[in-house]
């Protein structure tokens, strides 16, 4: 692995386009806004930006309801603006990854409009239609991930259509070869324009049981706490064996173009995540590993997770790690400001491709959203359970002023508090800030073959701390992390090499200080 490969050795930075930078003042982020911040991404030290959906959409689920797979929603710009963004990014050495949403389209997509026109429509089988049950109700017990039945009745044709998300997001029928080819051609459309790959939304849902059998009850379901969809186990609606063939076919499309990447969104157990590398590694290049997002923030648990994941990887499979995204609470809200610094060191020194979420580098927290301002349909459908995703999608803070430099208009979601301290401009001038720590880590990682592609070896773990070595030939580093807010003994003998980075000021020797992470050059 001597030759640099951008998606293996680099760092991905997720941009939620509505919330990153607003160039036209309408309060909603756009492509020109992203284009204007490319130099920031370069100065930060990331290698690729992944942009959440920007396709034409009625925005029932903020872009995850696509009405045209080959266009750009006017809210964000147009195809020419994306072309300019691609050119500018590539000129700076940045790669650009787009979201691809294959499980469902919008109900306003021309395919679905034609599909629901009649039972004899040529597009009828591009979606999943079924006759009612004998009692006239839904065909089976499948549930929507956003609450309620996954079936919607169409009065005009007298059948139900499947929607595993909103009823305005009908599921596509991936058993139809014409639908598959149309979707692969949509991928090629963007790859020809220079897009460097795709993050594929809920890739594990695309195939459903051909016999439409009921899903079994979930014995661990917690009434009033879990989402309604968790009442059943998705045995027949997720992670079907046939899905692997679809993933392999998508990978084949991506491999028609040089140096592109296929990333799969997977909320699955560890042993199922690694299955998506595919036979002979012909599946996703990076099946997303979200295990840290829901993990208890404890040294022994995280160390065990790292070891289990490494052991489960197929030979040649490259790992990846994620601390946050647009669907889950922010890392600083989950572990606190002090441990967010430890988390940054962990993410950027583990073996594998890290994915950062915009704003985590300045310590953005989830922002409470009053119910009358809620935009997320998940929260509106199941209020009171804390399932809403608006809190982690609030606008990026660029400057300590009104609008936070995000917009000169009214932001689509409230900014929240602490704007004066949690913004790029203020933290750029503070060498002790979280942003400065991220920049140091990214610079260290980029300059080290050990940190970007080397092997990992767990050295020691205690109830409080976790230590591991990264090594590529003579390039070696030891990372030590204190997961607690109290001093802790090093779980290994103190490395002989110099401490090149600490999350704390002052000397770094002896026991770990509260909430401290260190990186030593050299080995034990």
DSSP state of 143: B
Contact 355, 50 (CB under 8 A): yes
Helix (H) / strand (E) containing 482 = strand 475-482
Rounded to whole angstroms, what are the CA distances from 145 to 70, 132, 160, 232, 427?
26, 21, 17, 11, 39
Query: CA 170, CA 165: separation in Å to the nearest integer?
Result: 8
pLDDT at 1 > cutoff 60: no
CATH, range 6-102+177-442: 3.20.20.80
Query: How many alpha carbons fall within 13 Å on the CB side of residue 455?
Result: 9
Contact 523, 476 (CB under 8 A): yes
Contact 221, 156 (CB under 8 A): no
Active site residues: 201, 256
* Longest CA pairwise span in the chain (Å): 76
Query: CA 355, CA 50: separation in Å to the nearest integer?
Result: 9
- 455-521 folds as Immunoglobulin-like (2.60.40)
Task: Report pLDDT for 131.
Answer: 98
Contact 147, 228 (CB under 8 A): yes
Quote the percentage of the chain above a pLDDT of 90.
96
- β pairing state of 48-51 and 12-15: parallel
Classified as helix, coil or strand, 432 is coil
Q: What is the phi/psi pair of residue 488, to 5°?
A: -145, 145
| Residues sharing a CB contact under 8 Å with residue 210, sequence separation 6 or more, in sequence order | 175
List, for residues 329-385, the tens digit of each pLDDT value.
999 999 999 999 999 999 999 999 999 999 999 999 999 999 999 999 999 999 989
Going 73 to 77 to 80 to 83, the CA torsion angle's sign is negative
Q: Is the pTM of this model over 0.95?
A: yes
Contact 55, 68 (CB under 8 A): yes
- β pairing state of 95-100 and 48-51: parallel
Task: Report pLDDT for 56.
Answer: 98
First-to-final CA distance of the chain: 25
For 327, counting Cβ atoms within 10 Å of its Cβ (0-12 exposed, 13-18 middle, 19+ buried), the class is middle
Can you say how many angstroms the Cα of residue 255 is from the centroid of all Cα atoms in its chain?
Answer: 22
Task: Report pLDDT for 523.
Answer: 61
> Region 76-85: what's the mean pLDDT?
98
List, for residues 102-116, the tens digit of each pLDDT value.
999 999 999 999 999
Look at residues 364, 378, 349 and name the one whose alpha carbon lies nearest to residue 164.
Answer: 378
Rounded to whole angstroms, what are the CA distances from 371 to 233, 403, 433, 515?
30, 22, 33, 35
Sequence ranges of the domains in the chain: 6-102+177-442, 110-162, 455-521
Task: Report pLDDT for 3.
Answer: 77
Query: CA 43, CA 361: separation in Å to the nearest integer?
Result: 13
Strand order in the sheet with 499-502: 455-461, 465-472, 475-482, 517-521, 499-502
Classified as helix, coil or strand, 159 is strand
| Residues sharing a CB contact under 8 Å with residue 306, sequence separation 6 or more, in sequence order | 350, 456, 458, 468
pLDDT tier, 510 (very low <50, low <70, confident <90, very high otherwise): confident
List, for residues 402-430, the tens digit of each pLDDT value.
999 999 999 999 999 999 999 999 999 99
- 110-162 folds as Oligo-1,6-glucosidase; domain 2 (3.90.400)
List, for residues 18-56, the tens digit of each pLDDT value.
999 999 999 999 999 999 999 999 999 999 999 999 999
Per-position DSSP letters for 52-97, written without gaps between them: ---S----TTTTSS-S-TT---TTT--HHHHHHHHHHHHHTT-EEE
Find tokens 């990214």 and name the residue.
442
Task: Report pLDDT for 509.
Answer: 77
Per-position DSSP letters for 431-493, written without gaps between them: TTSHHHHHHHHHHHHHT-HHHHH-EEEEEEE-SSEEEEEEEETTEEEEEEEE-SSS-B--SSP
Task: Report pLDDT for 4.
Answer: 83
């Amino acid at each position: 692995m001597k030759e640099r490969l951008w998606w293996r050795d680099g760092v991905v930075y997720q941009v939620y386009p509505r919330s990153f930078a607003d160039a036209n003042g309408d309060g909603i982020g756009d492509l020109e806004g992203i284009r204007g911040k490319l130099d920031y991404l370069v100065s930060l030290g990331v290698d690729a930006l992944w942009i959440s959906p920007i396709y034409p959409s009625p925005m029932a689920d903020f872009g995850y309801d696509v009405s045209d797979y080959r266009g750009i929603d006017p809210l964000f710009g147009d195809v020419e603006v994306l072309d300019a963004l691609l050119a500018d990014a590539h000129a700076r050495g940045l790669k650009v990854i787009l979201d691809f949403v294959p499980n469902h389209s919008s109900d306003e997509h021309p395919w679905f409009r034609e599909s629901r026109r009649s039972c004899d429509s040529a597009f009828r089988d591009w979606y999943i239609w079924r006759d009612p049950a004998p009692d006239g109700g839904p065909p089976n017990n499948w549930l929507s991930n956003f609450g309620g039945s996954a079936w919607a009745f169409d009065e005009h044709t007298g059948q139900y259509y499947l929607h595993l998300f909103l009823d305005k997001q009908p599921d596509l029928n991936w058993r139809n070869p014409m639908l598959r080819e149309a979707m692969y051609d949509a991928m090629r459309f963007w790859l020809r324009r220079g897009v460097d790959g795709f993050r594929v939304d809920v890739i594990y849902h695309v195939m459903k049981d051909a016999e439409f059998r009921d899903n079994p009850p979930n014995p661990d379901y917690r009434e009033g706490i879990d989402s309604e969809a968790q009442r059943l186990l998705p045995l027949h609606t997720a992670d079907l064996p046939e899905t692997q063939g679809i993933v392999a076919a998508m990978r084949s499309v991506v491999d028609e173009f040089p140096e592109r990447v296929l990333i799969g969104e997977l909320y699955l157990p560890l042993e199922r995540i690694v299955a998506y590398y595919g036979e002979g590694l012909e599946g996703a290049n990076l099946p997303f590993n979200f295990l840290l997002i829901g993990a208890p923030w404890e040294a022994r648990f995280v160390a065990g997770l790292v070891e289990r994941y490494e052991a489960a990887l197929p030979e040649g499979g490259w790992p990846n790690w994620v601390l946050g995204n647009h669907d889950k609470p922010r890392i600083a809200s989950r572990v606190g400001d002090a441990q967010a610094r430890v988390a940054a060191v962990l993410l950027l020194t583990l073996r594998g491709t890290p994915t950062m979420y915009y704003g985590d580098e300045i310590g953005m927290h989830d922002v409470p959203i009053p119910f009358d301002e809620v935009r997320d349909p998940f929260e509106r459908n199941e209020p009171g359970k804390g399932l809403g995703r608006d809190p982690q999608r609030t606008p990026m803070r660029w400057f300590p002023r009104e609008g936070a430099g995000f917009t000169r208009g009214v932001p689509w979601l409230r900014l929240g508090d602490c704007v004066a301290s949690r913004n790029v401009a203020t933290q750029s001038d503070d060498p002790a800030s979280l942003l400065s720590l991220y920049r140091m880590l990214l610079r260290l990682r980029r300059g080290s073959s050990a940190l970007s592609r080397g092997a990992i070896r767990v050295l020691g773990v205690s109830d409080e701390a976790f230590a591991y070595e990264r090594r590529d030939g003579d390039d070696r580093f030891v990372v030590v992390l204190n997961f607690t807010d109290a001093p802790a003994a090093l779980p290994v003998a103190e490395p002989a090499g110099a401490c090149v980075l600490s999350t704390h000021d002052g000397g770094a020797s002896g026991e770990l200080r509260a909430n401290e992470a260190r990186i030593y050059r050299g080995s034990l």
